[in-house]
Amino acid sequence: MKESPGVVDLLGVLAYAELSAYARMTEDAATLAPSLADRAALSELAVTEYAHFRLLRDRLAELGADPDEAMSPFVAALDAWHAQTRPANWLQALVKTYVGDGIALDFYREASRHLDPSIAKLVDEVLVDEGRSQFAVEGVRAGIGADPTAGARLALWARRLVGEALSQAQQVAAARPELALLVVESVGEGQADISRLFAKLTEEHGKRMAAMGI
């Protein structure tokens, strides 16, 4: 028996997000990392992202869905997000890894709250931090310590990342109403419930910004 379209959409968008993150981190590690240690650390995070992609791909197949078909509706939006937010330097790459990805993953986590426990558990597993926060926070703080003027520039960059991420989420929701329905069901049907969801996402974003010192 095939799973509902909304669940397939959720796992599909997450699978492509993880695959895209793997490719992006690999590229950033090769082109932007200031040291071999940084290259190795980001590459290790990229390998974790690919492992998460494989878990999602395999679960989609178990549910009777074609993984490629499940991911394909989200390719254009996610590729556009990465193209529009390509980091120019190492610190921007770290902020994107932590802040830009973070708010999107918070959104997907909320969408999974009231799903079948096995699906919710899988989503939690692939969204686990895996040391990403500590690596990014330490790197950004060190960068700002070396150049205090970098903080203001990174704050502007973070705001741009969030704006682009929310725009992308709106496009995806408009194109995939079954996925949007999961989010609505997870928080309630009223405008106040949706407002609380975005307030929660904003609060978590604020905590990340504070952690980096920007």
Q: What is the pLDDT of residues 113-127, one digit of tens each?
A: 778 888 888 988 888
**CA–CA separation, 94 vs 87, rounded Å?**
9
pLDDT confidence of 132, banded at 50, 70, 90? confident
Mean pLDDT of the chain: 86
User: Which pLDDT belongs to residue 152?
Assistant: 94
Which of 101 and 160 is assigned the larger pLDDT? Answer: 160
User: Which pLDDT belongs to residue 130?
Assistant: 65
Cβ-proximal residues to 98 (8 Å cutoff; 6+ apart), any chain: 132, 133, 136, 137, 140, 208, 212
The mean pLDDT value for 68-90 works out to: 92
SS3 35: coil
User: Which pLDDT belongs to residue 3?
Assistant: 60
User: Which pLDDT belongs to residue 186?
Assistant: 61
Q: What is the pTM of this model?
A: 0.87
User: Which pLDDT belongs to residue 65?
Assistant: 94
User: Which pLDDT belongs to residue 164?
Assistant: 86
3.90.550.10, 1.10.3720.10, 1.20.1260.10, 2.60.40.10: CATH of 5-212: 1.20.1260.10
User: Which pLDDT belongs to residue 184?
Assistant: 67
- Model confidence at 35: pLDDT above 90: yes
Q: What is the DSSP string of 110-126?
A: HHTTTS-HHHHHHHHHH
Closest CA relative to residue 31, chosen from 83, 90, 71, 94: 90
**CA–CA separation, 18 vs 9, rounded Å?**
14
The mean pLDDT value for 172-186 works out to: 74
Cβ-proximal residues to 73 (8 Å cutoff; 6+ apart), any chain: 9, 12, 13, 175, 176
User: Which pLDDT belongs to residue 1?
Assistant: 43
Is residue 125 exposed (0-12), middle (13-18) or buried (19+ Cβ within 10 Å)?
A: exposed
Contact 1, 64 (CB under 8 A): yes
Task: Identify the weakest region by mean pLDDT among 20-34, 66-80, 175-189, 198-212.
Answer: 175-189
Cβ-proximal residues to 148 (8 Å cutoff; 6+ apart), any chain: none
- Model confidence at 178: pLDDT above 50: yes
